[in-house]
Structure formats: C-alpha cells, structure tokens
C-alpha cells in the first residue's frame, strides 16, 4: 500500500477524514489490477470492517466517477476500493482499451480476493458497486462469486444489449450484422498493419451536429469536469476503442440467470431522465427478490457520475450497504 494525496487528482475530492492509498494485486491470470483504497482515519485497523468495491464507467478509469463514490462511501463508514479494469488505466493488459467482458468481471473477483485477505476487512461483508458499464460487469461477476454480499449499480449499461440492439432497441438484426461484417474485415487490416483502428468514439471537439447523448458524454469526458488522461496515453485514445473490440460485446449477456444471485440483495439506481434507464429496468424485471429500482429525480445518465451537490445517491447507497453489510 502506497499512501497518496488526493490533491494530485482533479476529478474527485477526498475528505480530510479519509486516507487514500494506491494498491495493486494480481488476478487469477497473474495480471496486475491497480486500485485506490480509501480508509477512514477513525477506523481501528486492528478490527474488521465492511468493504465496498467500486467499478468505473465503460471506457473510463478509476479517477472518473469510481473514486467519487469510493471516497464518499469511505467517509460514511466503509473500507472502499475503486479499481481500474484490466486493459484500462493503470491495470495490466495490452493493447490498452481492449474489450474482454469476462476479464472485466474477473477484475471484481480479484478485488474481493485482495480485500478479503486484508486484516482490517470483514470478508463476509463485502459489497460491490458498478457504474455505467461496470454495472453489467458486477452483475456478471456476482452470478458466479457469492462472496459479493450486496450488489448495487448506478446508471447501468448492459454493454451486450446496447451493442446488439442500440439504444431503445432501435438497431435491427441486419444492421447488427453489417457492423459485425465491417469489424471482421477490419481485422485483416489490423493484422497486416499491426495497428488498431479506433472508432473516434468521442471526438475531442464536439461536432455541431452531435446527437444529445454524444454531447452529454462530451460534457464530462472532454472537459475539466471529468477529463483524466492515464500515464502514457493521449486525449485522443482515452474513452476510445476499436470496432473489432466492441463487437465482442455481442456475446455478453450479463442478465441471463440474474435471478440466481438471490437471496443476495440488488439495488439498481438510474436517473429518471437517463437514456440508459432501460438497462436498469430490464435487470430489475429479471432479478429475484430482494431487489429495488431507485430513480434519482431530474437526473440524466452522467448526472450520477459526479454530481455531489444533490444528485449522486450517496444517502441511498449508504443505507443499502449498511442494511446488508453488517
């Protein structure tokens, strides 16, 4: 554990009552996962405490949204840890920005391995929180890892469903097949040149004809509000990925068998104005009790990333995890 100062970061703030550490640990494939561990200064480290692991939005890194929630929940009585997904941020994996859904889920189980072996963590009371795309990854992980005792999601994306069907199920099967065929052809070029073909998923400059969803994401990832460029990366390659990689999500079905997570509790949080609320609603419908679907009033998708002045649902999460993590 390496103690670090939150003053080195601009996308989140840490209370003076919380200590922050940089940690790293190995997953089952001997790859390094890097995270930020948050511990209240009031905690007696000779005792065991409940813990919560936090996953960042798809395409982001731990400094973007995940650290916001991890630091806030630490101040409210939990050991917390925000992690970088494999192939993203500081965690291992080459090439960077690769798409491996199973490996993303494995990152959370590896985080449980690490926290559950710390002397100050109660391994029987570890919860998990996934933001945006990580919402689907924590559901996928929890289905095969019962050590995750309480599961919460915020602004969840089912990356499989949105890749197959588009927003609001507007993508036809034929359109899906066209994208798959285009990606398959691009594999030849990537193979012969040795270079990835990125999609320019989120342009640095917002086009005048940008749709509302792109504009929303741009207001976070391409502005001082949420921008964070990992070491060795560039602004152009942050929040970006290849079409070849993206097509791997077509085989990702995190909500299949979601009911088997029961009787462990699940909480799905979405903004009532969010374009992504369909995924939380779908998961809630398929999950078994105990479960809850909670809407944040007048909030869009990214309002819940970092809006600490009224829309980030800290109180709801604190109540949920304190109820189920003893």
DSSP of 108-130, one letter per residue?
A: HHHHHHHHHTSTTEEEEEEEEEE
Is residue 197 in some structural domain? no
CATH number assigned to the domain comprising residue 151: 3.40.50.1820
> Which residues touch 173 (CB under 8 Å, ≥6 apart)?
none
- What pLDDT is stored for residue 309 in this prediction? 85
Is residue 146 in some structural domain? yes
Instruction: Supply 275's token pair.
Output: 């374009």
Could you tell me the residue range of the domain that residue 121 belongs to? 2-158+254-324
End-to-end, the C-alpha distance of the chain in Å comes to 26
Determine phi and psi for 36, rounding to 5 degrees. -110, 120
Q: What is the DSSP letter of 223?
A: S
pLDDT digits (tens, 9 = 90+) for 208-246: 999 999 999 999 999 999 999 988 888 888 889 999 999
pLDDT digits (tens, 9 = 90+) for 115-151: 999 999 999 999 999 999 999 999 999 999 999 999 9
- What pLDDT is stored for residue 235 in this prediction? 83
Is residue 286 in some structural domain? yes
pTM of structure: 0.97
Mean pLDDT by 10-residue block, N- to C-terminus, for the chain (326 residues)? 80 93 98 97 91 97 97 96 97 95 98 97 98 98 98 98 96 98 98 94 91 95 93 84 97 98 98 98 98 98 93 97 96
Is residue 109 in some structural domain? yes
Q: Where are the alpha helices (DSSP H) in the chain?
A: 66-75, 101-116, 134-143, 159-165, 173-193, 212-221, 243-246, 277-286, 303-306, 314-324
Is residue 86 in some structural domain? yes
- What pLDDT is stored for residue 289 in this prediction? 98
Q: What is the DSSP string of 70-113?
A: HHHHHHTT-EEEEEPPTTSTTS--SSTT---HHHHHHHHHHHHH
Instruction: Supply 186's token pair.
Output: 């691009």
Is residue 248 in some structural domain? no
Question: What is the maximum alpha-carbon separation in the chain?
Answer: 59
Total domain count, the chain: 1
- What pLDDT is stored for residue 10 in this prediction? 84
The sheet carrying 291-296 orders its strands as 2-4, 18-26, 32-40, 79-83, 49-55, 121-131, 148-154, 266-271, 291-296
Is residue 106 in some structural domain? yes
Is residue 174 in some structural domain? no
Classify each residue of 36-64 as buried b or exposed e, where b means 16 or more C-beta atoms within 10 Å of its C-beta.
Answer: bbbbbeebeeeebbbbbbbbbbbbbbbbb
- What pLDDT is stored for residue 210 in this prediction? 94
């Amino acid at each position: 554990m390496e103690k670090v100062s939150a003053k080195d970061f601009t996308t989140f703030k840490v209370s003076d009552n919380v200590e922050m550490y940089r940690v790293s640990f190995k997953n089952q494939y001997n790859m390094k996962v890097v995270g930020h561990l948050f511990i209240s200064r009031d905690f007696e480290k000779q005792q065991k405490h409940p813990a919560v692991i936090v996953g960042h939005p798809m395409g982001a890194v731990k400094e973007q949204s995940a650290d916001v929630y991890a630091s806030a929940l630490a101040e409210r009585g939990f050991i917390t840890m925000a992690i970088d997904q494999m192939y993203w941020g500081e965690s291992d994996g080459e090439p960077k920005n690769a798409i491996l859904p199973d490996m993303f889920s494995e990152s959370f189980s590896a985080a449980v391995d690490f926290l559950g072996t710390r002397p100050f963590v109660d391994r029987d009371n570890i919860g998990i929180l996934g933001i945006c795309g990580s919402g689907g990854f924590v559901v996928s992980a929890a289905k095969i890892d019962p050590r995750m005792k309480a599961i919460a999601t915020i602004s969840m994306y089912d990356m499989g469903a949105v890749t197959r069907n588009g927003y609001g199920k507007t993508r036809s099967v034929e359109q899906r097949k066209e994208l798959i065929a285009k990606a398959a052809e691009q594999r030849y070029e990537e193979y012969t040149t040795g270079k990835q073909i990125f999609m320019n998923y989120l342009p640095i400059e917002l086009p005048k004809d940008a749709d509302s969803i792109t504009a929303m994401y741009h207001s976070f990832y391409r502005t001082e509000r949420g921008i964070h460029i990992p070491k060795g990366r560039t602004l152009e390659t942050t929040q970006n990925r290849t079409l070849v990689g993206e097509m791997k999500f077509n085989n990702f079905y995190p909500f299949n068998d979601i009911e088997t997570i029961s009787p462990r509790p699940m909480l799905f949080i979405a903004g009532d104005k969010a374009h992504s609320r369909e995924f939380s609603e779908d998961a809630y419908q398929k999950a078994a009790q105990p479960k809850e679907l909670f809407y944040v009033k007048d909030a869009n998708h990214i309002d819940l990333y970092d809006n600490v002045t009224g829309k980030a649902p800290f109180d709801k999460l604190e109540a949920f995890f304190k109820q189920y993590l003893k």
